[in-house]
Amino acid sequence: MGHKLSVKNFIWSTEEWPEINHDDFADADDIPVISLQGVLDGRKNPNYDKVCQVMVKACEKWGFFKLVDHGVALETIESFMGSLNGLFDLPMEQKLKGVRSASLPLGYCATNPDYGKNLPWAEILQLLQSPEQVVGFATKVFGDQHQRFSKAMIDYLNALDNLGMTIFEMLAHGLGLPDDFFTKHFEEKEATMIRVNRYPPCPLQKNVLGLGAIQTLIP
C-alpha cells in the first residue's frame, strides 16, 4: 500500500496452486437452484416448509445454492453493478482517495495486503453495511458527485440485507429453530459488510491467482 509493487509480487509458486481445475465443475447440473417465488411472505405459503427444508439440504450437501425469484429488482442490481464498474474504471489516483488504512480494512485497495506474500491479483472494495460508511467513502472518491454511487450502493445493500434476513429465517425454520435464531445477531446494521473483488486483465495470467484459499472454522 505504501510502496509500488511489480507483477512479480503476485506470482505464486506451483506448490501453492490449486489441484482442481477451475472449470472441473462447469458442467455440473445438480448445483441446487432454489426459487423463492411465493414464499417471501413467510409461512402463509403452503410450500414454505418444503422450500426451507430444500435450503437446509443444499447447505448440508453443497454449502451454497443459487437463488432465483428472490425479489431483488433487476434495476437495483444493474445500478449497483454499473456504479461498481464506474468506480473500478476510475484512474488509480482517484480510487486511492478512498484507500483503506493499515489498521482498518475498510475502503479500497489495489490488492489485499493481509496476505503478506502471494498477493491476489484483484482490486477490492470493502465497506460496512452502513449508509454513513458508504457516503463517507463515496465522498472521498467522487466529491460532490457521490450521490449516484451512494444511492446505488445503499439501495442494493438494503435489498440484500432484507433478503439475507429472510434466508436466515428460512434456514432457522428448516432446522426447527426459532425464526430469529440467526437474525437476532444482526440487529445492528454495522454487523455485516460488503466486499467486492474485481479481477483485472493480467499480463501473466497463468502465474497469478485472483483469490487465495479460504478456510472457515466452525466451533
Q: What is the pLDDT along the chain (219 residues), one digit of tens a residue?
A: 444 556 666 766 666 666 666 666 656 667 899 999 988 877 788 899 999 999 999 999 988 899 999 999 999 999 999 999 999 999 999 999 999 887 788 999 886 555 556 677 788 899 998 899 999 999 999 999 999 999 999 999 999 999 999 999 999 999 999 999 999 988 776 667 899 988 887 766 666 666 655 544 444
Q: How high is the pLDDT of residue 189?
A: 61
Q: Are residues 66 and 80 in the same domain?
A: no
Q: How high is the pLDDT of residue 217?
A: 45
Q: How high is the pLDDT of residue 114?
A: 54
Q: Are residues 77 and 67 in the same domain?
A: no
pTM score, whole prediction? 0.81
Q: Are residues 67 and 132 in the same domain?
A: no
For residue 123, the enclosing domain spans: 73-168+176-201
Grid cell for residue 180: 430469529
Q: Are residues 67 and 155 in the same domain?
A: no
Rounded Cα distance between 197 and 11, Å, is 18
Q: Which residues have a Cβ under 8 Å from the Cβ of 96 and sit 6 or more positions away?
A: 108, 110
Strands of the 193-198 sheet, one edge to the other: 107-109, 123-128, 193-198
Q: Is residue 207 part of a domain?
A: no
CA distances from 83 to 53, 87, 109, 145 (A): 36, 6, 17, 12
HSE, CB side, 13 Å, CA atoms: give it for residue 37: 4
Q: How high is the pLDDT of residue 219?
A: 42
Q: How many domains does the chain have?
A: 2
